[in-house]
Amino acid sequence: MSRSYPISTAANGVGQVSGSYCTPLGSHRIRAKIGASQAPNTVFVRRRPTGEIYTAELGRLHPKRDWILTRILWLSGNEIGFNRLGACDTMRRYIYIHGTPDSTTLKQPGSKGCIRMRNDDLIGLFDIVPVLTEVSIVMSGAGSPTR
Chunked into runs of 10 residues, the chain (147 residues) has average pLDDT values of 86 96 97 97 98 97 95 98 96 98 94 97 97 91 58
1 occurs within a structural domain: no
Q: Domain limits at 25?
A: 7-137
Asked whether the beta carbons of 98 and 118 are under 8 A apart, the reply is no
Q: Please give the tally of structural domains in the chain.
A: 1
Compute the distance between CA of residue 113 and CA of residue 110 in angstroms, rounded to an integer: 9
117 occurs within a structural domain: yes
| pLDDT attached to residue 3 | 75
Verdict on whether the full-model pTM lies above 0.75: yes
| pLDDT attached to residue 144 | 58
147 occurs within a structural domain: no
CATH number at residue 108: 2.40.440
2 occurs within a structural domain: no
| pLDDT attached to residue 139 | 80
Asked whether the beta carbons of 89 and 75 are under 8 A apart, the reply is no
